[in-house]
Structure 1
Amino acid sequence: MYRVRRWVVRHSRVFEMIYRRFEPVLVRLAPVWRRLGHERIEAPVRMVEKAAKGALFDCRMCGQCILSATGMSCPMNCPKTLRNGPCGGVRADGHCEVKPDMVCVWVDAWEGSRRMKQGDLIHAVQLPVDHRLTGSSSWLRVVRQQDTTSSSTANRETTR
């Protein structure tokens, strides 16, 4: 897993492009997801998401994925699970102070973000992890957020 996730960071721009094409497809399927019921489809979607993101990013299924803002390096792989940058204990060689054989997740994040078109997203301050969402699908969360946003925009336009 470790080698694969490091490889993904080195190819973060490709994965950014894949995600930018994948997200709109998920969002366009929002009416289908709604009709089937988000609760009913959570388990199968979560299973696919866990398999795909687990294999590529060593995903921990926090339910609040921010890979596109962290150079395709999952901050949950940090032993301290820091979401806004390194802890300050990064060794001179760029390795983690807790796991000396591992390159700091945030060293990888900065490397990956430099390769991405929207690499500046790494500067955004992230909210703390909401542990109540651990194990849930972040893909469905994105769909619900986008669906809610587009629904409220449509409602505002029809009331004008």
Structure 2
Amino acid sequence: MYKSTRPTILSALRMVTRLFGRRLDTPITAAERLIKGALFDCQMCGNCVLSKTGMTCPMNCPKSIRNGPCGGVRSNGMCEVKPNMRCVWVDAWHGAANMQDGETIKDIEFAVDHNRVGQSSWLRLARDE
């Protein structure tokens, strides 16, 4: 589903940004927050890797680890820090295994750029920033 909707979303955003510049950034970002929050519990870090982590937001990890399990996964798949929470990275690896480009979960990610928190990743991609 992601592979089929991504080109349409980016094309639409490219057209909107060409026509309106940055005037619609606030409502577009609000829509992204609403949609990605509801579907993926996205934390809007502005450095989105949902497409690499099986549509699981790694920013939900209590340790904010962006490059795989922290080593604190319990034998039952639960989080070391929050024992009543399933490990985010267990879900990410399972989700990535079901995606066409699932191997991208192995790519090393840079630390979160905190200047981008709350910004739209969709707009950045549409503008090739």
The percent identity for this pair of structures is 54
Residue 7 of structure 2: aligned partner:
24
One-letter code of the match for 1:90?
V
Residue 93 of structure 1: aligned partner:
76
> Superposition pairs for residues 139-154 of structure 1, below 5 Å?
139-145=122-128
One-letter code of the match for 1:45?
I
Instruction: Give me the TM-score of the superposition, normalised by structure 2.
Output: 0.92
- Whole-angstrom distance in 2 between the partners of 1:66 and 1:53: 12
Task: Give unpaired runs (5+ residues) of structure 1.
Answer: 1-16, 149-160
Give a deviation string over 1:44-103, Cα, whole Å, max 9, x none: 011111111111111111111111100111000001111100111111111111110011
Residue 58 of structure 1: aligned partner:
41
- Whole-angstrom distance in 2 between the partners of 1:136 and 1:121: 23
Instruction: Tell me which protein shows more helix as a share of its residues.
Output: 1
Task: Give unpaired runs (5+ residues) of structure 2.
Answer: none
What is the deviation of 1:27?
2.9
Regions of 4+ moved over 3 Å: none
- Whole-angstrom distance in 1 between the partners of 2:10 and 2:55: 21
Residue 98 of structure 2: aligned partner:
115
- Whole-angstrom distance in 1 between the partners of 2:26 and 2:16: 16
What is the deviation of 1:20?
1.9
Instruction: Answer with 1 or 2: which has the greater Rg.
Output: 1
Residue 110 of structure 2: aligned partner:
127
User: How many residue pairs are counted as aligned between the two chains?
Assistant: 128
